Amino acid sequence: MLSASRYSSSGASACSIWRRETPSRIGISAWRCTSCRMVKTSDGGTRILPKIGAMRPDYAGGSLVNLVASIATARGARARHAPLADFAIDERVRNIVLLIIDGLGDNYLARRGAGSELARRRRRSLTSVFPSTTASAITTSYTGCTPLEHGLVGWFTYFGAAGCVSAALPFRSRGDMALLTTRGVEAEQIYDTPALFPSLAVRSIVVTYRDIVDSHYNRVHCRGAERLAYRNADEFIAQTEQAVKSGDERKFVYAYWPHYDAISHRHGCESREAAGEFAQIDAAFGRLIARLAGTETLVIATADHGFIDVAPEESLELPAALAPLLRFPLCGERRIAYCHVHSPDEFAKRAADWLGSRAEVM
């Protein structure tokens, strides 16, 4: 969903296992303080991996990376990728606010968002990145690079500098969850893709949740930007408003809302808890728009990826016959597992025999 409002690795052999799931699509909503044009576009996209119905991200002009490229160009930077097609941004606008609602995909908005502020202002859908997961997509939004370029290709990643499989965003080793600094590794050694903010010709401000505002990940990826923390929806609105109104210079404000994603992981995206969280961020979006009226601000709201619920009986557990072939614990995500193995051909054969039509082995 995209709404706009105007006012790696060690060198070990690896196989990948892709679960059968619906491709992730996000949408975009737009608001402008003077008017709002509604534009409908076709989804497009190219399907790959026929067993699982996966969709290739449209990096040529229809994905999250292209939205970031459009914003970067409008704020005076040289983008690494093509701009978002059919979504012009007036470079003369004083402020641009990018509101990322983690996990709030376009399918959810279509199913559950009737009458919402976000649905009313929906402009178009986008593809996410591959893999369509927080670690990869949020890093794309911070850098303007695809996951292949920035290297964070899943929640769990093998970092050669640390010598272990690690949770990429928390900067902790898998298993004991100790900070990687206890292994003598600094965040700059892991997160080595330049952040977007220093390249912009405007003042940059990041508004994010207090529990992560000073994380190792954010300190590196928010270089070149001021960081403001919030505890709840009221503070989120207040801090974003303050960021926009703090000075007359041109600005880029990056506002991040992680809670819908966290609740959907915990309770499921079709749960009452997720519906309540959607109602809260939708109301906050509407209140923010009202507070920014007359400030020459373009507000762009989007997800980084979407969600589907998977029943417990559809989850796959690695069989004992495959475990001895692994060099490290599984990397990536439950739906896209990266396997660092001793014998790639043997592992791929055993995995394909076990999985059958339930997943792709590459």
In this prediction, residues 188-202 reach a mean pLDDT of 97
Using pLDDT thresholds of 50, 70 and 90, give the confidence band for residue 229: very high
- Summarize pLDDT for 4-44 with one digit per residue, the tens: 544 423 233 444 444 433 335 666 555 543 222 222 223 34
Under 8 Å between Cβ of 174 and 164: yes
> In whole numbers, what is the pLDDT of the chain averaged over residues?
88
The token duo for 336 is 């896209």
Spatial CB neighbours of 92, under 8 Å, sequence gap ≥ 6: none
The better pLDDT of the pair 26, 214 is held by: 214
In this prediction, residues 79-86 reach a mean pLDDT of 96
- Dist. CA 234–CA 292, nearest whole Å: 14
Spatial CB neighbours of 120, under 8 Å, sequence gap ≥ 6: none
pLDDT at position 359: 85
The token duo for 324 is 């001895």
| Nearest alpha-carbon partner for 170 in 161, 178, 158, 162 | 178
| Nearest alpha-carbon partner for 19 in 341, 353, 310 | 310
Give how far Cα 125 sits from Cα of 16, 241, 260, 298, 304, Å: 28, 26, 19, 18, 12
**Residue 154 reports pLDDT greater than 50:** yes
Question: Which amino acid, one-letter code, is at 332?
Answer: G
pLDDT at position 358: 84
pLDDT at position 137: 98
The token duo for 79 is 């983008």
- Summarize pLDDT for 270-292 with one digit per residue, the tens: 999 999 999 999 999 999 999 99
Helix (H) or strand (E) holding 133: none
CB burial class (10 A; 0-12, 13-18, 19+) of residue 173?
buried
In this prediction, residues 109-115 reach a mean pLDDT of 94
Phi-psi region of 338 (alpha: psi -120 to 50; beta: other; left: phi over 0): beta
Q: How many CB atoms lie within 10 A of CB 111?
A: 11
Q: How many CB atoms lie within 10 A of CB 314?
A: 11
pLDDT at position 46: 52
pLDDT at position 44: 41
Q: Global pTM?
A: 0.88
- Summarize pLDDT for 230-273 with one digit per residue, the tens: 999 999 999 999 999 999 999 999 999 999 999 999 999 999 99
User: Would you call 340 helix, strand, or coil by DSSP?
Assistant: strand
Enumerate the β-bridge partners of residue 164: 159
In degrees and rounded to multiples of 5, residue 2 shows phi and psi of -130, 120
pLDDT at position 42: 32
Provide the residue ranges of all domains of the chain, joining segments of one domain with +: 2-361
Helix (H) or strand (E) holding 239: helix 233-245
The DSSP secondary-structure symbol of 63 reads B
Give the number of C-alpha atoms closer than 13 A to the C-alpha of residue 81, restricted to the C-beta side: 26
Using pLDDT thresholds of 50, 70 and 90, give the confidence band for residue 299: very high
The better pLDDT of the pair 17, 229 is held by: 229
Under 8 Å between Cβ of 254 and 225: yes
pLDDT at position 335: 83
pLDDT at position 7: 40
| Nearest alpha-carbon partner for 101 in 308, 302, 309, 276 | 302
User: Would you call 250 helix, strand, or coil by DSSP?
Assistant: coil
Question: What does CATH list as the number for 2-361?
Answer: 3.40.720
pLDDT at position 10: 29
In degrees and rounded to multiples of 5, residue 193 shows phi and psi of -90, 130
Q: Which of 53-62, 158-167, 211-220, 276-285 has the lowest mean pLDDT?
A: 53-62
Show the 3-state SS of 123-145: EEEEECCCCCCHHHHHHHHHHCC
